[in-house]
Structure 1
Amino acid sequence: MPRPLNAAHLTAIDLDPPHFIEAAAKAGFDGVGLRLLRVTDTSPGYPLYDDLAMLRATKAAMAATGLTVGDIEFLKVTPDTRVADYEWLFDVGADLGAHHLITAPYDPDLSRLSDTLSALAEAGTSRGVAIIHEFFPWTNVPDLATALRVVEAAGPEVHLLVDSLHFDRSGSSLAQLAAISPERLPFAHLCDALVAEHYTTDELLFTAREARLAPGEGQIDLRAFVEALPDDLPLSLEVPMVSADGPEAVLGHVCEVTRNWLAQGA
């Protein structure tokens, strides 16, 4: 059975949620992730709680296409993060039927980070929205080993998100990835990229936000990465790239190339 494929919003971030869902469905994806929080000054977020017309249009697009919202993203966990400030985020996620809220590590105190993740997980439980924590090589949680320690300290309800780009850039171990309990890994992010011996922080950020490639178009050992994941684990394609043909064409290209690439490895 083919792995379920979702489209992460960053792949076509300039499309608002209703248009993104429609374009993802046309491209052939099974579901989407939605970015409800603005992450950078140069990329949008779509909170939806303050735009009821867009929320209704988003739900209408879901109903019309049959696509589900697997996750919402992403909350930067800082020393000042308070659960009460994000009750709305869980509510909107639950309204959309999302199963996970992606969080990111921006607290240098890893013990406090784990405590905050635990508190967020408790808040999400009643809404059916679990916490899934992602690591980035330019943060204080730069690799899989550190991320695993953080989520294990946060408790069994906090999941781990592994992105093939960040995994490759961090020098993390395939053996350690294969050894992680499947219960910690509800889905993974997949993309390809060119590979170099060293990266500056600016290079890491630029590739992550603007210059990824579809699977098989770069140099990451994605076969080994996918083989280390649990069988049939859902994959979310996060592949931002510049295209003169527009975001809809990017989604179509990424979905087609990925399905062909997965079929070749079956």
Structure 2
Amino acid sequence: SRVMASIYEQFQQEPRFRPSSLVPPRVAAGLFGRKSGEGWYRYVDGQPQRPPARPLPPLPEALAVWVDPAASGADGLRGLMAAAGARLVDGPGNADLCLVMPWGEDATGAALRLGLDATRCAAVDPLPPLALRRTLMLTAVTSPAVRDAAHALLAKDGTAVTLINDSPGFIAQRVMATIVNIAANIAQRGIASVADLEDAVRLGLGYPQGPLSWGDRLGAARLLEVLRAQLAATGDPRYRPSAWLQRRVALGLPLTTPEAER
């Protein structure tokens, strides 16, 4: 909360960097997470007490599944569906379930762009490795039967599946793109050098990587695509891409490239 408030003030209350309104009330109430025993979760012996998992639907037999062949993770998702017992088909018209993997786009928008029946369509987040966790986004009209079939197939091997309603992009994509964009703006303003910014976030905030290294790992061009799609969908200036980020993507430079000496 204090970090985001500090960034907001350093940028003269630039709307892109406004802090989340969800955090201050929790801080004021003393809900500090593990250290206070309650935050976004309640903690017992340091362990979060999460609500019961959604019951896993029954696995359908020989369900016809089409995966968008243009998706960046299409091969992995097709393999996952085949291993779960789905029958893969080459065209969406013959499918009981159509799966798309958009960047920065909602499931409904992806379905309409591809000419799919939105009642038979759902989206899977391509950002996190499928072996770690799967996020399934429904369109505004995905049928309950299709929702349950997709959930069962994605969870067949025991990997956790998170279901979310239609939203402008996936949660992980929005968070990571925003973190990298803020870091790019800090570098552009000269508030911190690239190296100092990387060290400050990694050592001070405990991130596994600095934000610009993380951007390079995930793909700066992909994150820029997410930001542009978010801005187009919401009109929210929070997602306006940094010029610093756009220049480096256009030049093919790693985000961790230091600023040229003057």
TM-score, reference length from structure 1? 0.28
Larger RCO (CA within 8 A; separation ≥ 6): 1
Q: Larger Rg: 1 or 2? A: 2
Calculate the TM-score normalised by the size of structure 2.
0.28
